[in-house]
Amino acid sequence: MALARGYAATDASKPLAPFTFERREPNADDVAISIQYCGVCHSDIHTVRNEWKNAVYPIVPGHEIVGVVTAVGSDVTKFKVGDKVGVGCFVDSCVGCASRDLDNEQYMPGLVQTYNSVEADGKTATQGGYSDHIVVKEGYVLSIPDNLPLDATAPLLCAGITLYSPLRHWNAGPGKKVAILGMGGLGHMGVKIAHAMGADVTVLSHSLSKKEDGLKLGADHYYATSDAETFTKLAGTFDLIICTVGVAIDWNAYLGLLKVDGSMVIVGAPEDAIPVHAFSLIPGRRSLSGSMIGSIKETQQMLDFCGKHDIVSEIETIGIQEINEAYERVLKSDVRYRFVIDMASLAA
Ligand code: NAP
Ligand code: ZN
């Protein structure tokens, strides 16, 4: 066992605070990673504040992890000491599953999430990337393309794959009109990736305050959803709308922006149920679906795609001591566009 230092939540209402815990020594199939940077996802906040009613404390959040390999087990073949690697939202899957589907691994019942989950042994709590190191099975470690800077790559491990996967699944590309609803951590990655895939990209944001950024990041059009005219002007326009907003919206109004056979895909995760009228779907044979992160195979594809197209996140780097203030700023949408924790600050 090695002692790890990090920051944890011990209760839904308390701020995150320094926390020491044990990580296992690497097994034969494990990779030990010194964490350099970790992105701050809105899901970290939902989880530690128990908004999804599944928190088991203490929780060390963080699932946008990048770092450098410090040791490998005897059976590891893909990684060596010194490699630049990433870890995303899960660290094991298909534990006890009858069948294993590597293309849809994130949907398997045996999924072990990077934090607030229990390892394959059935008892050890997983703890995430707001910490100095992590030990992960080789099959759940990703290679980071050499041309990408580590800090701005961290958010690709969740925000990047969460948008890449539905964009690919619903065939975003040339000739397709794609709307990204909400331009935050997930949304701004969606703009960059959909643009690189060749789609015609529209941002639907609650105001025009980030319009200049949106157009720079690759959007072709930018509309404010606070303006009622947006909904009349864009009625029946989109093949695909990806909703990254994590609060209640007027779902029926957005469904009206889809073409015949268009799909609206939910990735933002509000607390409350979603009220939808049958007649928001029936007349245009429209679909409302959800999507969750991506498989390890697809996450590696996404990283390679981002390497090829020089895509990283727009980030603001913070020390771990600033994490509680950063959470408040995320809640106010006061970040352009993802906080990334420099883990060297743990030593300060
Ligand atoms: P974020 O950085 O806070 O972005 C959310 C965006 O939603 C904001 O930038 C804002 O964009 C928009 N928004 C509209 N009304 C809002 C309001 N009242 N309060 C806050 N934001 C509002 O969050 P994120 O990290 O991108 O995550 C977004 C959601 O996706 C969260 O619910 C998160 O848990 C979920 N998530 C899901 C998956 C998955 O696999 N499905 C993975 C990761 C995260 P505008 O200013 O442009 O309107
Ligand atoms: Zn996330």
- Point out which residues pair with 243 in neighbouring strands: 181, 266
Ligand 1 closest atom vs CA 209: 46
Distance of CA 24 to the CA centre of its chain: 26
Predicted pLDDT of residue 272: 85
pLDDT tens digit string along 295-317?
A: 999 999 999 999 999 999 999 99
Q: How far apart are CA 123 and CA 97, in angstroms?
A: 18
Choice between 5 and 95, residue whose per-residue pLDDT is larger: 5
DSSP letters, 163-197, are: HHHHHHHTT-STT-EEEEE--SHHHHHHHHHHHHH
Which residue's CA lies nearest to atom 29 of ligand 1? 268
What is the whole-number distance in angstroms between the Cα of residue 206 and the centre of ligand 2? 22
Cβ of 63 closer than 6 Å to ligand 1, yes or no, is: no
Average pLDDT over residues 144-173: 98
Which residues have CB under 8 Å from 328's CB, separation 6+?
Answer: none
Ligand nearest to the CA of 339: 1
What is the whole-number distance in angstroms between the Cα of residue 113 and the centre of ligand 2? 11
Cβ of 36 closer than 6 Å to ligand 1, yes or no, is: no
pLDDT tens digit string along 30-68?
A: 999 999 999 999 999 999 999 989 999 999 999 999 999
Q: Is the pLDDT of residue 95 over 80?
A: no
Cβ of 247 closer than 6 Å to ligand 1, yes or no, is: yes
Ligand nearest to the CA of 316: 1
Q: Say if CB 168 and CB 298 are below 8 A apart.
A: yes
Report residue 102's pLDDT band, with 50, 70 and 90 as the boundaries: confident
Cβ of 186 closer than 6 Å to ligand 1, yes or no, is: yes
Cβ of 315 closer than 6 Å to ligand 1, yes or no, is: no
Predicted pLDDT of residue 96: 65
Which residues have CB under 8 Å from 142's CB, separation 6+?
Answer: 85, 86, 87, 88, 157, 296, 299, 300, 303
Cβ of 333 closer than 6 Å to ligand 1, yes or no, is: yes
Q: How far apart are CA 246 and CA 248, in angstroms?
A: 7
pTM of the model: 0.97
Identity of residue 124: T
Predicted pLDDT of residue 174: 98
For residue 291, the 8-state DSSP code is -
Conformational region of residue 300, where left means phi above 0, alpha means psi within -120 to 50, and beta covers everything else: alpha
Sheet of 258-266, strands arranged across: 221-224, 200-205, 177-181, 238-243, 258-266, 287-290
pLDDT tens digit string along 244-280?
A: 999 999 999 999 999 999 999 999 988 888 999 999 9
Cβ of 189 closer than 6 Å to ligand 1, yes or no, is: no
Which residue's CA lies nearest to atom 35 of ligand 1? 268
Q: Is the pLDDT of residue 77 over 80?
A: yes
Cβ of 194 closer than 6 Å to ligand 1, yes or no, is: no
Predicted pLDDT of residue 131: 98
